[in-house]
Structure 1
Amino acid sequence: MQFAFKPALTVATLIGLAILISLGTWQVQRLAWKEDLIARVEARTNAEPIEFAEAYRRWLEGEDMEYTPVWVQLVYNHPREAHVFGSLEGVAGWYVFTPASFHKRQPDFIDEDAVLYINRGFTADTFKARETRPDSLIAADENDTLPVVTGLLRTPQESPAIAGALTPQNDPARNEWYVRDPMVFAGAAGVKALPVWVDSSGSENPAAWPKGNTTRLDFNNRHLEYALTWFGLAATLLVVFFAFSLKRRDA
């Protein structure tokens, strides 16, 4: 066998290798990023809750505060709750986002007229209407003490363009939403809202619905598999290149 240099084949192979190795390297970098993200989130969610105002201030200053445990004392505005389509353990239903007012004067960086949306959790379609779950409509107790909500701070996230194109249209008339965006809910409800929200742990809710503590923290991490696939394709391309570049010597 003897190697026969074929310029066109060689150039095409080099271009293909560059692309495949770049994609594999990118996935290795994504793997490191995802593993760091998982470690940070696990450490963060196991920390003691801090006051919401403190977490919000740090987020405004540019610190990553996603999934930070927080606590806050609020007054729910149940008639203006928003219903966001979603699922839990394979069952379709709705997440109840309820606007709430702060019970006392907040720092200047929080508008005194703004509400904070609380994702109170998942409810089956049967209990979507708040009239069907009166026990969940929390107000002050007999001592005028307001409930303390604990949960995870969530910050605005940009959806990929493809995901946005596939998302159904919101239906404000039916109070049915398909994006988790407090600013959108607030616009329809005629209130001013903060751009962040809190996923409630559900500890303040005595009712069965909505179910709190539903934040999904199981991040998909298949980057190693993807990296091996790209590198494997690069190796296969090399084998094909040599197979086409070798020819038998005449006897």
Structure 2
Amino acid sequence: MRQAIAIILSLAVLALFIGLGTWQVQRLKWKEGVLAEIDARIAADPVSLPDSPDKARDTYLPVMVSGQFGDGTLRVLVSTKQVGAGYRLISPLLTDQGAILIDRGFVRVSHEMPPLPQGPVTIEGNLHWPNDRLSSTPENDVSGNTWFARDIDQMADALGTQPVFVITRQMTPPEPRVLPLPVTSEGVPNRHLEYAGTWFLLALTWSMMTLALLWRKKRRNT
């Protein structure tokens, strides 16, 4: 009787592990669909900047804005796989709809700060509300102009703009010394394949442990 109960409980646990792994596979397919939608949205034709951009509605929205850069550039410390450590350059763009924040792109830490472009510019990019700050992220050194996270409200206060943030995909005329870092879906977490593998590995391990236990009991009884 005890052995039968143990087998039933073992099968129930095995079914739970397999079920959770299958659920994560289903979540993986769902997340891949979400990422495909984000990629399509990012790459869509740009539109005019909305009068009142909304995070829930307008994240990743491709826009085209024109204006002239105002004074000031914030340096956000980042690291890229291809180039290494450097800064994202955040500057105010004066438009007919007011001043907004522009992520101009990337320069190496070892390079001098490039001057702001002079005269009218047109920027094609994406509205974004980045979530750079983690529990381990230091506070921004505003006085020393070294930022560790793109905190939009804080940047807007520092540069005297609206809390509207556009990440450059292309600027006309271009800045030869600044490398644009366009918005992509790479920062959207997708660990469902890893989770599925973990649950299926647990299912396999549990099966092997159960079979080993049954084999040992069988040997004792013979």
The answer for unaligned runs of 5 or more in structure 1 is 107-111, 141-145
Aligned residue number for residue 155 of structure 2: 185
1:240 equivalent among 209, 213, 219: 209
1:239, 1:95 → 2: CA distance? 51
Instruction: Give the TM-score normalised by the residue count of structure 1.
Output: 0.72
The answer for unaligned runs of 5 or more in structure 2 is none
Is the contact between residue 13 and residue 237 of structure 1 (CA under 8 Å) also seen in structure 2? no
Is the contact between residue 83 and residue 128 of structure 1 (CA under 8 Å) also seen in structure 2? no
1:49, 1:169 → 2: CA distance? 34
Q: Using the TM superposition, give the Cα deviation of residue 91 of structure 1 relative to its aligned residue in structure 2, in angstroms.
A: 1.1
CA RMSD of aligned residues (A): 3.1
Pairwise mapping of residues 59-208 of structure 1 onto structure 2 (< 5 A)?
59=54, 62-63=56-57, 65-77=58-70, 79-88=71-80, 89-102=82-95, 104=96, 106=97, 115-129=99-113, 133-134=114-115, 137-140=116-119, 146-157=120-131, 164-187=134-157, 189=158, 191-194=160-163, 196-208=164-176
1:243, 1:124 → 2: CA distance? 57
Instruction: Give the TM-score normalised by the residue count of structure 2.
Output: 0.80
- What secondary structure does 1:43 align onto? helix
2:112, 2:153 → 1: CA distance? 21
2:68, 2:50 → 1: CA distance? 16
Residue 45 (structure 2) pairs with residue 52 (structure 1): no
Instruction: Decide whether aligned partners of structure 1 residues 33 and 98 sit closer, same or farther in structure 2, where only a CA change above 3 A counts.
Output: farther
Residue 220 (structure 2) pairs with residue 227 (structure 1): no
Q: Using the TM superposition, give the Cα deviation of residue 208 of structure 1 relative to its aligned residue in structure 2, in angstroms.
A: 2.2
Q: Using the TM superposition, give the Cα deviation of residue 244 of structure 1 relative to its aligned residue in structure 2, in angstroms.
A: 1.5
- What secondary structure does 1:27 align onto? helix
Is the contact between residue 95 and residue 210 of structure 1 (CA under 8 Å) also seen in structure 2? no
2:83, 2:15 → 1: CA distance? 41
Give the count of matched residue pairs. 218
2:35 equivalent among 34, 38, 60: 38
> Which gives a bigger RCO, structure 1 or 2 (Cα 8 Å, sep 6+)?
1
- What secondary structure does 2:44 align onto? coil
Pairwise mapping of residues 10-21 of structure 1 onto structure 2 (< 5 A)?
14=12, 18=16, 20-21=17-18
The amino acid that maps onto 1:138 is P
The amino acid that maps onto 1:70 is V
2:4, 2:197 → 1: CA distance? 29
Instruction: Decide whether aligned partners of structure 1 residues 67 and 128 sit closer, same or farther in structure 2, where only a CA change above 3 A counts.
Output: farther
- What secondary structure does 2:171 align onto? coil
1:177, 1:23 → 2: CA distance? 41
1:205, 1:11 → 2: CA distance? 69
Is the contact between residue 119 and residue 200 of structure 1 (CA under 8 Å) also seen in structure 2? yes
Moved over 4 A (4+): 9-17, 219-222
1:46, 1:227 → 2: CA distance? 30
Q: Using the TM superposition, give the Cα deviation of residue 82 of structure 1 relative to its aligned residue in structure 2, in angstroms.
A: 0.9
- What secondary structure does 1:227 align onto? helix
Is the contact between residue 168 and residue 181 of structure 2 (CA under 8 Å) also seen in structure 1? yes
